[in-house]
Amino acid sequence: MARAWLDPDYKELVRSDPLAASKEVGVDWLEPTGFGTPSDFTALHVLEDTPTLHHVIVCTLCSCYPRPILGNSPEWYRTPNYRRRIVRWPRQVLAEFGLILPEDVEIRVEDSNQKHRFMVLPVRPDGTQGWTEEQLAEIVTRDCLIGVALPKPGVTTNAVTRTRAAVHPAAP
């Protein structure tokens, strides 16, 4: 995703053909990896965030996840609690991850399944102008790519995400 922020042609490839884009950076989606391969041909979709639209990924049936690219899914991603609540109360669940989005930002929850996997192309954060691809890649975390975090200068792929305890949302 860091390359997509710097290279408009690569960004278009990411949006139009994510499999080719992943191969271009050395990840062959369909070849077995240490994290496994999709059980059958699986379409990979990259969803682009904008200043007024934020995507978050879930698999409500099991825990479908783009393992060949992101490795094994985090434990919380596989829990029925996350899978159920992110669909019903996405803004609240994201807040429990520390991600509080303005009310004018639409949140779209995308449901992965056996045949379709999703990843998020986050908005490039302010304050990263002049950064190299390597510097940008450090702030593109797994959590950013599934939509439960935003990339931030100073928060790297090695940072531990703190979550907050779940609370029942206020009745509408």
pLDDT digits (tens, 9 = 90+) for 10-68: 999 999 999 899 889 887 766 655 555 555 557 889 999 999 999 999 987 776 777 77
What gap in Å lies between CA 105 and CA 90, rounded to an integer? 12
Residue 69 belongs to some domain of the structure? yes
CATH code of residue 140: 3.90.330.10
Phi, psi of 125, rounded to the nearest 5 degrees = -75, 150
Is the pLDDT reported for residue 99 higher than 60?
Answer: yes
Which residues have a catalytic role annotated? 59, 62-64
Mean pLDDT, residues 67-81 taken together: 83
Is the pLDDT reported for residue 8 higher than 90?
Answer: yes
Residue 114 belongs to some domain of the structure? yes
Residue 164 belongs to some domain of the structure? no
Beta strands at 116-121 and 106-111: parallel, antiparallel or unpaired: unpaired
Number of domains in the chain: 1
Q: Name the amino acid, one letter, at 52.
A: T
The DSSP string of 83-139 is HHHHHH-HHHHHHHTT----TTSEEEEEE--SSEEEEEEPPPPTT-TT--HHHHHHH
Residue 17 belongs to some domain of the structure? yes
Residue 151 belongs to some domain of the structure? no
Mean pLDDT, residues 58-86 taken together: 83
What gap in Å lies between CA 81 and CA 44, rounded to an integer? 25
The predicted pLDDT at position 108 comes to 98
Domain holding 57, by residue range, is: 2-145
Between the ranges 33-42, 111-120, 159-168, where is the mean pLDDT highest? 111-120
Residue 106 belongs to some domain of the structure? yes
